[in-house]
């Protein structure tokens, strides 16, 4: 997938047709009350990002966001502003070639009915159209974490990209949420969520992260909603992804597009200070703080993890 191109007029038409207004709530924007079979991983063999005449050098980008009980504001922000702003930034600043974007809704594989939903890789307004057709289940298990690692498993086992297969060039994967990541994914959870039969009894999150990182530059954006829990959540993410996580406050979610774009630019060789200083003052300050946890080696041009 990934044909066509994204335009401002298409976004304007979609806003009008789907009543995407400043006052719209998450429940008004996301009207599904169950998982759409199109996005259920049990019925998805593979998601493909393929080169085409429109996208001769496609770059796969996966953006997964937490849809458990506390995270409705994130889905609302993505629908109203941040997804469109992210696509616009990528097209204007071109940190990568021909972006193909897949969106994913993430819940809890230990408790939720639809713990993972995945759209297609798209290059046009279907990116936003499919986002709005995801189900905000709004549950989560109250069990000390969410299943962000489901998206890593899916990207490793169920995506195929010309970027990696033809050019050995990695795509990008971002998860966004305010909880720790469960430390393992069990055989039973994999069967229930993906209908896959696997050999091991369980897979550690750290191993799943390492596996997906062979194909995707993989990061987590931690929304620091509960200051009393910051250290424990940061410790959890450091154990799994090392330094590949950024920190934002919930009131700073509008700057997610700036953080995503800056990370891509830095990975592809831009000086970190230049990536930060390109933004207006408010965004510049937020991006600088968000990226403070990511160490960048200027000479070797890679991010540690």
CB-count exposure of residue 207 (10 Å: 0-12, 13-18, 19+):
middle
pLDDT value at residue 304: 45
| Residue 265 domain-assigned (yes or no) | no
d(CA 286, CA 225): 15
| Residue 301 domain-assigned (yes or no) | no
Total-model pTM: 0.95
Residue with tokens 């965004």: 283
pLDDT beneath 70, residues of the chain: 1-3, 141, 296-305
d(CA 136, CA 259): 24
Which residues have C-beta within 8 Å of that of residue 67, sequence separation ≥ 6?
A: 75, 105, 106, 107, 134, 135, 136, 137, 138
| Residue 203 domain-assigned (yes or no) | yes
d(CA 164, CA 212): 12
Domain that holds residue 80: 8-255
**Domain holding 232: CATH number?**
3.40.50.410
Segment 252-283, tens digit of pLDDT? 999 999 999 999 999 999 999 999 999 999 99
| Residue 299 domain-assigned (yes or no) | no
pLDDT value at residue 302: 46
| Residue 123 domain-assigned (yes or no) | yes
Q: How many helices (H) and strands (E) does the chain have?
A: 13, 12
Counted domains in the chain: 1
| Residue 43 domain-assigned (yes or no) | yes
| Residue 267 domain-assigned (yes or no) | no
Tell me which residue of 178, 174, 210 sits closest to 305, measured CA to CA: 210
Integer angstrom CA distances of residue 81 from 31, 104, 105, 291: 18, 17, 17, 21
The tokens for 245 are 């996580």
pLDDT value at residue 226: 87
Rg over alpha carbons for the chain, rounded to the nearest Å, is: 18
Residue with tokens 């250290």: 231
| Residue 296 domain-assigned (yes or no) | no
pLDDT value at residue 2: 58
């Amino acid at each position: 997938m990934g044909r066509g191109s994204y335009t401002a007029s298409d976004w304007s038409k979609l806003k009008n047709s789907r009543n995407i207004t400043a006052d719209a709530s998450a429940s008004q924007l996301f009207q599904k009350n169950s998982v759409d079979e199109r996005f259920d991983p049990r019925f998805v063999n593979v998601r493909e990002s393929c080169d085409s005449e429109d996208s001769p050098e496609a770059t796969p980008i996966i953006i997964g966001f937490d849809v458990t009980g506390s995270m409705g504001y994130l889905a609302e922000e993505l629908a109203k502003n941040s997804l469109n702003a992210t696509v616009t930034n990528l097209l204007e600043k071109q940190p990568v070639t021909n972006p193909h974007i897949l969106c994913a809704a993430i819940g809890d594989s230990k408790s939720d009915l639809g713990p993972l939903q995945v759209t297609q890789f798209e290059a046009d307004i279907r990116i936003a159209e499919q986002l709005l057709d995801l189900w905000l289940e709004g549950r989560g298990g109250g069990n000390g974490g969410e299943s962000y690692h489901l998206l890593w498993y899916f990207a490793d086992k169920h995506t195929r990209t010309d970027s990696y297969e033809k050019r050995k060039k990695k795509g990008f994967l971002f998860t966004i949420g305010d909880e720790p990541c469960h430390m393992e994914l069990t055989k039973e959870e994999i069967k229930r969520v993906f209908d896959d039969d696997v050999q091991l009894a369980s897979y550690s999150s750290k191993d799943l992260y390492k596996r997906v990182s062979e194909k995707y530059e993989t990061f987590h954006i931690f929304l620091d909603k509960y200051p009393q829990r910051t250290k424990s959540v940061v410790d959890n993410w450091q154990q799994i992804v090392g330094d590949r996580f950024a920190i934002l406050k919930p009131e700073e979610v509008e700057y997610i597009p700036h953080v995503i774009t800056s990370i891509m630019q830095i990975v592809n060789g831009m000086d970190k200070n230049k990536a930060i200083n390109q933004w207006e003052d408010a965004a510049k300050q937020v991006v600088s703080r968000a990226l403070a946890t990511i160490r960048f080696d200027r000479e070797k041009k890679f991010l540690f993890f």
